[in-house]
Amino acid sequence: MIDLHTHTIFSDGALIPSELVQRAIAHGYRAIAITDHADISNLDFIIPRIIKVAEQLNTLGKIKVIPGIELTHVPPELIKYLVDEARRLGARLIVVHGETIVEPVIHGTNRAAILAGVDILAHPGLIESDDVLLAKEKGTALEITARKGHSLTNGHVAKLALYHGANLVLDTDSHSPEDMITKDTAINILRAAGINKEKIPDILRNSDIIVERVFRK
């Protein structure tokens, strides 16, 4: 199991990073990205601290820990600037909080995130075909999420991504220990989104590809 979208007490999660990672190890995860919510107010606070934890824990070899960030409710016009700033600060994985239907995310966020070259567009809601095609072109993965509420549009995201050939990833968007899942649950979530069993190994492998790319940087 690989999870590329999680949160700690540095935003609205329940656990400190070390405990989150230990819980992931206990669940049998092979890799985890810590991607706390951020905008310009806290970007420079969060990223260095996550990097410090990741560097220390990665020396133990029990799990791969990726220091990342989730840019959240950022006006579309500012997303590219903050993506560049996050990378300058050392974030290895950039997630943008997409246009979920359960929050008032500004329309245009999905497109701005993809154009900015983010790694993952989280819970992109009722994403449009043009943006799915753009994600395919830019190499941005679209998220199928285990998170309650955000998951309401998983079927829509999966259908368009599979039709247009865009990459999908499965993440939990964990905020507490109860949000973590097993590989079997991940498979069931993908099946519930209307994805055929034959396609599921490829989708799970997309997370491996992202991890490999991150550690090559």
Q: Tell me the two tokens of residue 45.
A: 């606070």
Distance of CA 133 to the CA centre of its chain: 19
> Which residue spans within the chain are E strands per DSSP?
2-3, 31-34, 37-38, 64-71, 93-97, 120-122, 141-145, 168-171
Domain boundaries, the chain: 2-216
pTM score, whole prediction: 0.98
d(CA 105, CA 108): 9
End-to-end Cα spacing for the chain: 22
pLDDT tens per residue across span 83-140: 999 999 999 999 999 999 999 999 999 999 999 999 999 999 999 999 999 999 999 9
Per-residue model confidence (pLDDT) at position 216: 86
pLDDT tens per residue across span 7-63: 999 999 999 999 999 999 999 999 999 999 999 999 999 999 999 999 999 999 999
Contact 166, 115 (CB under 8 A): no
Residue 123 CA: distances (Å) to CA of 32, 57, 147, 170: 18, 28, 9, 10
CATH superfamily, domain 2-216, is Metal-dependent hydrolases (3.20.20.140)
* Parallel, antiparallel or unpaired: strands 37-38 and 2-3: unpaired
pLDDT tens per residue across span 124-137: 999 999 999 999 99
